[in-house]
Amino acid sequence: MWMLSLSGGGTAVIVRVPSDDLTVTKHVLEMGVDGIVFPMVRDAEHAARLLSWTLYPPYGTRGCGPKGAVSYGLDDEKSYYGAGHLKMCRFVQIELASAAEDAARIAALDHLDGCVLGMHDLSGSIGDLGNIFCEANVALAQKAIAAFRARGKTVGISTFATDEATLRRYRDMGINMISTGADYEFIRKGAQETLCRVRSIGE
């Protein structure tokens, strides 16, 4: 239902799937999403295997059954098996030091459009969880950013932060796709502002 609601409104649908779950990945692909994100990628070999799940032969190993992706028969299924399915965006998350160190080989993979940095998990992978701007963590992030940007590919980040300083810092690092804030945070702030307003009226 959510897929129909979003696509019906013209919103691009990009789904982060569970790590190493072929069954869920196939289910998401069959919905006809615009993009997919694979978390916790370990290295280039791991990334290549995950990407193969999204690609039909001869490019990969994706199984047939794209009912939602071909609008339940309104679009030509044969065309989708060819060039059609290649139009979907494919991203991996760089959240492990091993992936950041192997970023050049990962970025070189065909049909991979970019990466999404996971700065918190990346810091955890080097034993310094939460210290996202420590020298070692930033160095790993910059290595991944440089590798993907050198290939002309997108580098994204998803952050709860909404302050200008943090967002500018990410932009200056070379990140060109920023998802900022969180739904629950906006709801909480809105509720707090409303509560303060109501209390001020009662004074």
Across the range 165-181, mean pLDDT stands at 96
Task: Count other Cβ atoms within 10 Å, centred on residue 10.
Answer: 6
Percent above pLDDT 70 for the chain: 95
Query: What is the strand order of the sheet 177-180 is part of?
Result: 14-16, 35-38, 89-94, 114-117, 154-159, 177-180
Placement of tokens 């789904």 in the chain: 15
Across the range 1-9, mean pLDDT stands at 56
What's residue 11's pLDDT? 80
Across the range 167-177, mean pLDDT stands at 97
Select from 71, 57, 54, 63 the least CA-distant residue to 14: 54
Tens-place pLDDT, residues 40-65: 999 999 999 999 999 999 999 998 88
Where does the pLDDT of residue 72 fall: very low under 50, low under 70, confident under 90, or very high at 90 and above? confident
Domain that residue 45 falls in? 2-202
Where does the pLDDT of residue 1 fall: very low under 50, low under 70, confident under 90, or very high at 90 and above? very low
What SS3 string covers the chain? CHHHHHHHCCCCCEEECCCCCHHHHHHHHHHCCCEEEECCCCCHHHHHHHHHCCCCCCCCCCCCCCCHHHHHHCCCHHHHHCCHHHHCEEEEEECCHHHHHCHHHHHCCCCCCEEEECHHHHHHHCCCCCCCCCHHHHHHHHHHHHHHHHCCCEEEEEECCCCHHHHHHHHHHCCCEEEECCHHHHHHHHHHHHHHHHHHHHC
What's residue 131's pLDDT? 97
Q: Is the pLDDT of residue 5 over 60?
A: no
Q: Is the pLDDT of residue 31 over 80?
A: yes
Look up the CATH number of the domain holding residue 152: 3.20.20.60
pTM of the model: 0.89
How many structural domains comprise the chain? 1
Tens-place pLDDT, residues 101-154: 999 999 999 999 999 999 999 999 999 999 999 999 999 999 999 999 999 999
What's residue 53's pLDDT? 97
Q: Is the pLDDT of residue 175 over 60?
A: yes
